């Protein structure tokens, strides 16, 4: 059975998890509280970033995909990607995690 959290609860739990582990995390864009899509920008504080976007497996299980590709991209490219996503859907959440160690704190699988 899949338990689905509302977007706002998921986002706040992710931020708390990151902060408890010594990383900085913040909501950059607040989306729809119940069902807004969530994007997580991992900023490694060296000018590079990775953006993760929510997805589902074929079985309906939650997972994350690297929206900006398998390798880190420049912060500018990550921001351009997020700007395009907001153009498609203005109800998305964007969470930025700043962590020099490159930890994303997502519990679901990342593809």
pLDDT in tens, 54-76: 998 898 888 999 999 999 999 99
Residue 95 pLDDT more than 60? yes
Rounded to 10 degrees, the C-alpha dihedral 81/105/15/19 comes to -130
Average pLDDT over residues 78-101: 97
Residue 1 pLDDT more than 70? no
User: 7-98, superfamily in CATH?
Assistant: Protein of unknown function (DUF1491) (3.40.1530.20)
Confidence of residue 35 (pLDDT cuts 50, 70, 90): confident
CA distance linking residue 80 with residue 41, whole number of Å: 12
pTM: 0.93
Per-domain boundaries in the chain: 7-98
Residue 5 pLDDT more than 90? no
Q: Which segment of 28-32, 59-63, 104-108 scores lowest on mean pLDDT?
A: 59-63
CA proximity to 47, closest of 73, 15, 22, 66:
73
CA distance linking residue 41 with residue 59, whole number of Å: 26
Cβ–Cβ under 8 Å, residues 110 and 66: yes
């Amino acid at each position: 059975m899949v338990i689905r959290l509302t977007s706002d609860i998921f986002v706040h739990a992710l931020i708390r998890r990151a902060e408890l582990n010594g990383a900085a995390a913040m909501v950059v864009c607040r989306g729809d509280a119940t069902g807004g899509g969530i994007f997580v920008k991992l900023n490694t504080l060296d000018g590079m970033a990775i953006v993760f976007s929510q997805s589902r497996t074929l079985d309906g299980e939650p997972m994350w995909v690297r929206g900006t590709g398998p390798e880190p991209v420049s912060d500018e490219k990550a921001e351009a990607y997020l700007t395009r996503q907001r153009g498609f859907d203005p109800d998305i959440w964007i969470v930025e995690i700043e962590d020099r160690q490159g930890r994303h704190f997502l519990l679901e699988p990342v593809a």
